[in-house]
């Protein structure tokens, strides 16, 4: 009788285990997925006053619309431009970032992107480079840092 009960409980346990859904490894989760073409844009060396624009390509690799809720620069000299329109699955948009190049010195700034993405709700991208004085020494622009007294 004990063997029969043990056998029945073993069969019942095994059947419950087999009835569970298998775990799928490597399958993307459902929902919007934010993918960016690069983490950092390197301006290299720019002359003071040169255009400081760059772009980041954002693609929705998920299966539902991606919405960029907010894009914010780390300071007033770094201004991102994001769309508020939903990005459909497989679709892309461009985040434009403008850096004010009037200050001489290194650039190391960031843009924080907030979205409804299931893989990353908050994503930080960066810009870097160096601003140098132009050869003509344009007097209307001033260098970054403390002013000499």
Q: What pLDDT is stored for residue 44 in this prediction?
A: 95
Report d(CA 64, CA 62) in Å as an integer: 6
CB 127 within 8 A of CB 134: no
**Class of the CATH-defined domain 34-132:** mainly beta
- Domain spans of the chain? 34-132
Local confidence band at 23 (pLDDT 50, 70, 90 cut-offs): very low
Identify the residue with better confidence: 29 or 16: 29
Q: Report, as an integer, the average pLDDT of 14-41.
A: 66
Report d(CA 19, CA 73) in Å as an integer: 51
Identify the residue with better confidence: 131 or 7: 131
Q: What pLDDT is stored for residue 135 in this prediction?
A: 83
Q: Report, as an integer, the average pLDDT of 44-51.
A: 94
Q: Is the model's pLDDT at 90 over the cut of 50?
A: yes
Local confidence band at 136 (pLDDT 50, 70, 90 cut-offs): confident
């Amino acid at each position: 009788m004990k063997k029969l009960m043990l056998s029945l409980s073993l069969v019942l346990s095994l059947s419950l285990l087999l009835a569970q859904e298998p775990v799928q490894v490597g399958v993307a989760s459902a929902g919007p997925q934010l993918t960016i073409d690069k983490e950092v844009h390197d301006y290299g060396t720019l002359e003071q006053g040169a255009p400081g624009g760059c772009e980041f390509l954002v693609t929705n690799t998920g299966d539902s619309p991606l919405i960029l809720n907010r894009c914010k620069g780390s300071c007033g000299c770094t201004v991102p431009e994001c769309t508020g329109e939903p990005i459909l699955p497989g679709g892309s948009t461009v985040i434009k970032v403008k850096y004010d190049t009037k200050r001489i010195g290194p650039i190391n700034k960031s843009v924080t992107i907030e979205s409804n993405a299931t893989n990353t709700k908050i994503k930080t991208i960066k810009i870097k480079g160096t601003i140098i004085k132009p050869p003509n020494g344009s007097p209307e622009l001033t260098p970054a840092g403390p002013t000499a007294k």
